[in-house]
Structure 1
Amino acid sequence: MSRTIRAEPLTAKAFAPFGAVLEATGTPDFMINAGLCGRHHDLARPETDVDGAVSLSVGRSEAVTLPLSLGMMERHPHGSQAFVPMGGARFLVIVAEDQNGTPSIPHAFLTNGRQGIQYKMNCWHGVLAPLTGPSDFLIVDRVGPGDNLEEHHLTTPYIISKD
């Protein structure tokens, strides 16, 4: 038995309870680099506990196909985590609110290829899921002491679809 969740387009408003959408929309906040670059400033602030540091990494991920069976979600209790596609890849973002230490009913979003996301610290989410691949992503997250990964295996999977 499974349950179905329809993935919707990613918007800043819909994603706000779970983190931030990293996207250059509208007029830049100001110009930099001798007027050649419009900067969309301070879109998200990485979170980390007192013992951690913010790290930049690159991850290469294989593609997933929809419909997707979601059987596991994870969260990072000591820091936020951001993913920004480096080659314009669209990807699936799955998040859930916390319900007594486990994920509640997930929400699924489809990015447009020009959007990245930052999960809030301790936000339940699915694994990195590009729709084409392999795809490279800039990863901004916490490094440091302590276990910063908690996984929860769902007793009944959800099926994530576009329709």
Structure 2
Amino acid sequence: MSRQITAQPLTAADFAPYGDVLDAVGAPDKMINEGMCGRHHDRARLDFTDGRAGVSIFNAQPRALPYDFDLVERHPEGSQCFVPMTQAPFLVIVAPDEGGTPGTPRAFLTAPGQAVNFHRGTWHGVLTPLSAPGLFAVVDRIGPGANLEEYRYEEGFTVTQT
């Protein structure tokens, strides 16, 4: 038996407690490259303790809705940014911290062209593309020490779509 969560559309306001939404909605902040490129400037706050920012490429297996999960993770030493390398939507799961363990999770569906940056220490689900290829650029902390905490809920959740 699992508890049900309905995935909501990803908006910057709803996602703000957990991180940043990166997108190119609206007019660009400025035009560059001889007026041929709109720059949507400074969309995410990267936050690391010791170490440095690194860019990795992830190729995750696609999942489908409804989606069952019981595992979330967080990175206490740095933020983590998932940037899809396709226009396909993906599922984002987050949970508030409640005294060192995750509370009730929320689920979001991205729109094509959206990316997310999880604040340092934010509980979140694993990378969950909904179609192939599950190709993402991931910007996160590279450095010494453990930067991964995992938590399994005693009772799982099922994410459905509205």
Q: In which range does the TM-score fall when normalised by the shorter chain?
A: over 0.9
Aligned: 1:78 with 2:85: no
User: 1:79 deviation in Å?
Assistant: 0.1
Distance of 1:123 and 1:155 partners within structure 2:
19
Contact kept in structure 2, 1:85 and 1:113, CA below 8 Å: no
Q: Identify the residue that residue 40 of structure 1 maps to in structure 2.
A: 40
Residue of structure 1 in register with 2:108 after alignment: 109
Question: Which residue identity lines up with residue 36 of structure 2 in the other structure?
Answer: L
Distance 1:100 1:45 in 2: 24
- Superposition deviation, residue 58 in structure 1: 1.1
SS in 1 for 2:25: coil
RMSD of aligned alpha carbons = 0.8
1:134 and 2:129 aligned: no
Matched to 1:97, the amino acid is P
Within 5 Å, which residues of 2 pair with 1:139-150?
139-150=138-149
> 2: CA distance between counterparts of 1:113 and 1:160?
19
Question: Normalised by the size of structure 1, how large is the TM-score?
Answer: 0.97
Distance, in Å, in 1 between the alignment partners of 2:156 and 2:123 is 15
Q: Percent identity?
A: 51
Runs ≥4 in structure 1, deviation > 4 angstroms?
none
- Identify the residue that residue 8 of structure 1 maps to in structure 2: 8
The residue identity in structure 2 corresponding to 1:32 is I
- CA drift of 1:135 comes to 1.8
Bigger mean CA deviation after superposition, 134-143 or 4-13 = 134-143
Q: Which TM-score applies when normalising by structure 2?
A: 0.98
Shift of residue 98 of structure 1?
0.3
Q: For the residues of structure 2 that align with 1:32 and 1:65, how far apart are their CA atoms?
A: 39
CA distance in 2, matches of 1:130, 1:150: 21
Structure 1 residues without counterparts, runs of 5 or longer: none
Structure 1 residue 155 and structure 2 residue 154: aligned? yes
Unaligned runs of 5+ in 2: none
- The letter of the residue matching 1:41 is H
